[in-house]
């Protein structure tokens, strides 16, 4: 298999991963990629056979609008592939170039922590609003009068919505302090499991970052020891040409195809999820949820709410560090790790 074929397969796989992660990691309705994808589908739909369109719609509905474990299995498959390659090739090569055993065993320790957090994200109740808990859940947060108003009824659950709650169409339940539904853990992220979700994202970033650094160090050692940057090669015309960056990358790809592929995937995952983690951390610092962030973006200024006659047409000036529910940075973060309970709430927001 030549370099061009390998590179095309690599590029298509990474692009497919980008689409899957960006479109479905945090709710497709909240991403620009999701909206672009929908527009492209609308343009192409007249040219797609009716039977194929119906089949694809049923498949998409089954995968992304009903609870299923497909993405959990895909998640575990990708991690298993990365750790198999790391254990099978990278570990041994790193030992040859002098990497310490401590550094090489760190990814396994991170994996153990990560799997525990992943299990908690998948299995813990996010804060389902139920008949038995409803009276107390309504008292946890006051209504802000803008995004959340008293007396709003969930037509599906037939319960008055507590402030900051939302009905999840995938799980078919109202969730207290709803953030989003994550298909990768097949669960909602809400009041009772946001802490696990944040630590889960951090653990993925730590694993991907550490293995990527070890792999990059290995490849740089290979380049330095073989003197590739200062070597020459004979081109198709029989002339000697100095090697450059593109030649070195091609040589490494052909010599270590699985390792280079894994490195590219890990770098992509690290930067994507690091940005996603920082976004959620910034929301947590200001005591916001991504659902509230998304709803606030589509509204006018803070004086433009349905019960007001003021409509200036200006976009909302959403401040991630301040808001109705913010109690200060440290208390906001404490609320993530120790969710509020009605009996502990003595003071009302002013």
Task: Please list the active-site residues.
Answer: 182
Q: Calculate the CA 137 to chain-centre distance.
A: 28
DSSP assignment of 295-326, as one string?
HHHTS-STT--TT-S----PPP---TT--TT-
**CA gap 182, 179 in Å, rounded:** 9
Q: How far lies 114's CA from each of 2, 31, 118, 199, 270, in Å?
A: 37, 26, 6, 8, 14
Q: Which of 294, 336, 342, 25 is nearest to 166 (CA)?
A: 294
Q: How far lies 43's CA from each of 37, 60, 69, 138, 236, in Å?
A: 10, 18, 31, 44, 45
**Alpha helices (runs of H) in the chain, residue ranges in sequence order:** 3-24, 32-44, 50-64, 70-85, 91-96, 101-123, 134-137, 194-226, 245-255, 257-285, 290-297, 329-337
Q: Which of 180, 210, 212, 175 is nearest to 197 (CA)?
A: 180
């Amino acid at each position: 298999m030549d370099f061009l074929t390998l590179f095309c397969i690599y590029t298509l796989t990474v692009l497919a991963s980008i689409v899957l992660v960006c479109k479905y990691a945090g709710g497709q309705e909240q991403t620009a990629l999701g909206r672009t994808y929908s527009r492209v589908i609308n343009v192409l739909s007249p040219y797609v056979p009716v039977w194929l369109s119906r089949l694809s719609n049923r498949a998409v509905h089954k995968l992304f609008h009903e609870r299923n474990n497909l993405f959990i299995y895909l998640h575990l498959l990708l991690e298993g592939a990365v750790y198999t390659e790391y254990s099978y090739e990278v570990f041994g090569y790193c030992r040859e170039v002098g990497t310490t055993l401590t550094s090489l065993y760190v990814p396994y320790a991170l994996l153990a922590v990560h799997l525990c957090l992943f299990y908690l994200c998948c299995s813990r109740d996010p804060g389902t609003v139920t008949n038995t808990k409803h009276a107390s859940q309504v008292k946890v947060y006051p209504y802000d009068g803008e995004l959340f108003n008293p007396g709003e009824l969930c037509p599906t659950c037939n319960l008055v919505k507590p402030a900051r709650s939302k009905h999840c169409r995938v799980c078919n339940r109202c969730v207290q302090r709803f953030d989003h539904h994550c298909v990768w853990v097949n669960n909602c992220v809400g009041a009772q499991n946001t802490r696990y979700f944040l630590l889960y994202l951090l653990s993925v970033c730590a694993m991907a970052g550490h293995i990527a650094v070890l792999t990059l160090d290995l490849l740089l050692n290979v380049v330095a020891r073989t003197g590739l940057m200062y070597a020459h090669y004979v081109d198709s015309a029989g002339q000697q040409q100095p090697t450059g960056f593109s030649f070195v990358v091609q040589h490494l790809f052909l010599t270590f195809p699985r390792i280079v592929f894994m490195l590219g995937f890990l770098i992509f995952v690290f930067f994507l999820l690091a940005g996603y983690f920082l976004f959620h951390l910034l929301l947590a610092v200001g005591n916001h949820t991504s659902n509230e962030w998304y709803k606030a973006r589509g509204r006018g200024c803070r004086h433009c709410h349905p019960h007001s006659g003021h409509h200036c047409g200006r976009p909302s000036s959403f401040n991630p560090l301040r808001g109705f529910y913010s109690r200060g940075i440290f208390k906001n973060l404490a609320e993530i790790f120790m969710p509020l309970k009605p009996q502990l709430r003595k003071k009302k927001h002013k």
